[in-house]
Amino acid sequence: MVSGSQSGALRDTWFGARLPEAELGRLQAHARSASYEAGAEILREGDLTRDLGIVVQGRVALRLRVPERGMTTVLTVEAGEIIGWSAVVPPHRSTSTVIAVVPTDLMLLDGAALRTELDADPVLAAAVYRSLLEALADRLTGTRMQLLDLFSQHRDEPW
């Protein structure tokens, strides 16, 4: 991973565009950029999630350890989508392993600082949580479709 100062405005992302203008500056102060080469592990399932990430450019795979299959990609996430949502939702543990499929640039928001901002400002919290819920609803639909496709290729169930 290569980290740097935040390049590109938070407001230019899908996530940031949904937030009130007045609150963007507060969040912008906690943003930084990071770049990952193809194949790099960004998050590991079960580990502490320190940052909420927004894919600026590239694509990442969300992978789960599936019995009898090993690590299995259940969804890919592209530019404009989020990773690491668990940075703001207890217990702050990654729900999947995230791997860069191609060179990928992320905008990262420090999870601890973001939680502090959300606790202090109910207007900001409502906007952020609404955006997270929209993203997670889309994620659930996409994951469901991917899992249906994945398991349709499975032999007869043992039960």
- Domains annotated for the chain, with CATH where assigned, are 2-152 (2.60.120.10)
Core vs surface per residue 126-138: b (16+ CB within 10 A) or e: ebbeebbeebeee
Mean pLDDT of the chain: 86
C-alpha–C-alpha distance, residues 153 and 97, integer Å: 23
* Mean local confidence (pLDDT), 133-147: 83
Reported as a single tens digit per residue, the pLDDT across 13-34 is 888 888 878 778 888 889 999 9
Which residues does 20 contact at the CB level (< 8 Å), separation at least 6? 123, 124, 127
Q: How far apart are the first and last CA of the chain?
A: 44
* Mean local confidence (pLDDT), 37-51: 98
The answer to whether 33 touches 7, Cβ cutoff 8 Å, is: yes
Instruction: For the chain, state the CA radius of gyration.
Output: 16
C-alpha–C-alpha distance, residues 145 and 30, integer Å: 34
